[in-house]
Structure 1
């Protein structure tokens, strides 16, 4: 089965809608409802866990040996640590991101009565007051505070607003979709991955594509804090491909164009055979790709394996510049990823033994162990000697 045509306009529109929904880890109900509705529009029945992780199964010819595609709905954010006597909020991060990117961010704190708008500022934010001390402020969460856009002169006023310790703070994404295909925004990790999955599913539905096994479309709600796909996989899933961001930076091989296939992250190598299959699918379907290794990175794949899931895992990514900051991606990568997903889920199952959870050694996979030998035809060898 060749790759399917992907509706780039749909990717763009659904991504805009996703970015418009605040969803820091711990405050994901609205985005869960949105994605559930979209899956139903695309013709799938939706199952949700108690906390809101989503599973939607697209039936294939066989139930066992199912394949899963997963992205996470939650994003980075912040949380109220204390009500300060100057009427501002001390905040701590949700997920791992630098306070350098929090400075100047517009945000919403979700209090008991509803949301209040505000700005995260350095403790010394006025050059007219502090002169060059503004530039000498250290970077860190202890050196920023949230100014709430309401009457809040002191901690007592904040209490009257029913703002309290533990309230969730959502950071504005401030997206820009440029005519040249670049997209700049916070939280592209991983709302762009969600958009890729939905676009791939739409292509499969539009073409009424048959798949050899069931495909589980999974959306998790706590990946940014390490929980991810730890409790959403069922026993009939044999392999899982995670769609997330790859980091484009000096020393990395990721790119903002095509698919970046992760060979390993901080938890170790991804499955040899599943990753090899994805590379071959890119080659046979003329999908631009590159490989990379991420040293300071983990994803839904890591959380699933650490939770004890016996599944083959792989990670395919769209290259992101300035990950966990003001991120930038390109539509080419999103379209390429969606194409790869369609090619993968419709491709034949190579490892039939994976239909069972356990089996004997018959049909078990093999990895090359012999030394590679360069073989030349006699004609080529003679030509080389004569040169």
Structure 2
């Protein structure tokens, strides 16, 4: 198969990150993926958790393969409506309050109304608060300033806003002339876009894969259990496609595909890892082997839930994870190329 158009992939990713989908409120983005696959005549179904499973029949229907990427993102819920008309937040996912200070956000009510706001320190004004720079960025000190004329909790409730309403963050998605894609929520919507393009390429070229292959677009990964169910008994190999973590001591970069050898859950399957590196070398695909010390994936969730599968993890390198993230088109391309090579090969012998 030829490599899909990276510009198309980037446009898909930009669409995906622009659809709010904090864990627990992902129906709209799942519907977007569902509609995309329906136009390709791909069989899909939703699981009870709200995730989406797409299946491409293969030559071998006795041994299945599953690939997964997650469409849920970090976000928050309204924890409390303060007497001042500001909102306290309860975070969804593993990140710190300092990562969202000054960010624009959207509050979605149960009735579907949407209001804009800004996440700020209560002590933001340096002209009023002596400790504006030193105060801790935490649940007690940070709040949402709603873009409405509200000054009391009662006025906020009259808008329809209540405890438990979801709060999503402005992605601020942007591409640069130098090939970078920067946005919130590239974890893991970059990978979702890559898988969508891979499926489109298979369908448009009329390729029959060597194994029946399932694609799980999971929707609870950020809270730990997105990919731990709906794995067919025939599935022998499970590959999570998720961001490669960058930072001090990491090998992962923004220009190659990252192959994870170990994360906080332990080592990934050695045989599958060697198979992936061999495919990368055979096809002259740029890759990095890496360990992510504070990380878990849909694949590790599947292993913890007791499934007898071979598991692996690859993905594009993402800078500044769980904040304002960035990757490069080269990393998207190399990840796509490795996945194309992978799905056309037999499963690893166990």
User: Do they superpose with TM above 0.5?
Assistant: yes
Question: Counterparts in 2 of 1:65-144, with a 5 A limit?
Answer: 65-113=63-111, 114-130=113-129, 132-144=130-142
- 1:60 matched residue in structure 2: 58
Contact conserved, 2:85 with 2:156, CA < 8 A, in 1? yes
Task: Report the alpha carbon displacement of residue 322 of structure 1 after superposing the two structures with TM.
Answer: 0.6
Q: 1:204–1:342: 8 Å Cα contact kept in structure 2? A: no
Q: Distance in 1 between matches of 2:93 and 2:204?
A: 37
- 1:328 correspondence with 2:298: no
Kindly report the root-mean-square deviation, in angstroms, between the aligned alpha carbons of the 2 structures. Answer: 1.2
Structure 1 position 207, deviation (Å): 2.4
SS in 2 for 1:136: coil
Structure 1 residue 323, shift from structure 2 partner: 0.3
Q: Whose Rg is larger?
A: 1
1:126 counterpart SS class = coil
323-332 or 50-59: which moved more? Answer: 50-59
CA distance in 2, matches of 1:350, 1:166: 45
Cα deviation digits, residues 287-323 of structure 1 (max 9, x gap): 0011001110001011111111111110002111110
Whole-Å separation in 1 of the counterparts to 2:11 and 2:160: 36
Measure, in 2, the Cα distance between the counterparts of 1:143 and 1:251: 33
**1:186 matched to which residue of 2?**
184
Structure 2 counterpart of 1:35, from 11, 33, 44: 33
1:253 maps to which residue?
Answer: 251
Contact 2:271 2:348 in 1 (8 A): no
Please show how residues 12-27 of structure 1 align to structure 2 within 5 Å. 12-27=10-25
- The alpha carbon displacement at 1:159 in A equals 1.5
Q: CA deviation at 1:139?
A: 2.2
Aligned to 1:346: 344
* Greater strand share, structure number: 2
Contact 2:59-2:211 within 8 A present in 1 as well = yes
Q: How far 1:81 moved relative to its partner?
A: 0.7
In structure 1, what is the Cα distance between the partners aligned to 2:139 and 2:176? 32
Structure 2's unaligned 5+ residue stretches are: none
With structure 1 as the length reference, what TM-score do the two structures score?
0.88
Partner in structure 2 of residue 206 of structure 1: 204
**Take 2:348 and 2:84, find their aligned partners in 1: how far apart are those partners?**
64
Alpha-carbon distance in structure 2 between the residues aligned to 1:19 and 1:326: 12
- Map residues 227-376 of structure 1 onto 2, 5 A cutoff: 227-351=225-349, 365=350
Query: How far apart are the structure 2 equivalents of 1:9 and 1:321?
Result: 20
Q: How does 1:215-226 map to 2 (within 5 A)?
A: 215-226=213-224
Q: Is the 8 A contact 2:105 2:170 kept in 1?
A: yes
Contact persistence 2:254–2:318 (CA under 8 A): yes
What is the SS of the residue equivalent to 2:296? coil
What is the CA deviation profile of residues 107-154 of structure 1, one whole-angstrom value per residue up to 9, with x for unaligned ones? 011113411111110011112222x42112112232200111112211
The runs of 5 or more residues in structure 1 that have no matched partner are: 352-364, 366-387
CA–CA separation in structure 2 for the residues paired with 1:264 and 1:141 = 32
Task: Report the Cα distance in structure 1 between the residues aligned to 2:84 and 2:141, rounded to whole angstroms.
Answer: 14
Q: Secondary structure at the match of 2:107?
A: strand
What TM-score results when the alignment is normalised by the length of structure 2?
A: 0.97
Partner Cα distance (1:221, 1:316) in 2: 18
Asked if structure 2 preserves the Cα contact closer than 8 Å seen for 1:223 and 1:229, the reply is yes
Deviation at 1:26, TM superposition (A): 0.8
Q: Deviations over 1:248-298 (max 9, x none)?
A: 111111111111100011010001111111111001011001100111000
**How big is the shift at 1:350?**
4.4
Q: 1:156 aligns with which of 146, 151, 154?
A: 154
Aligned length: 349
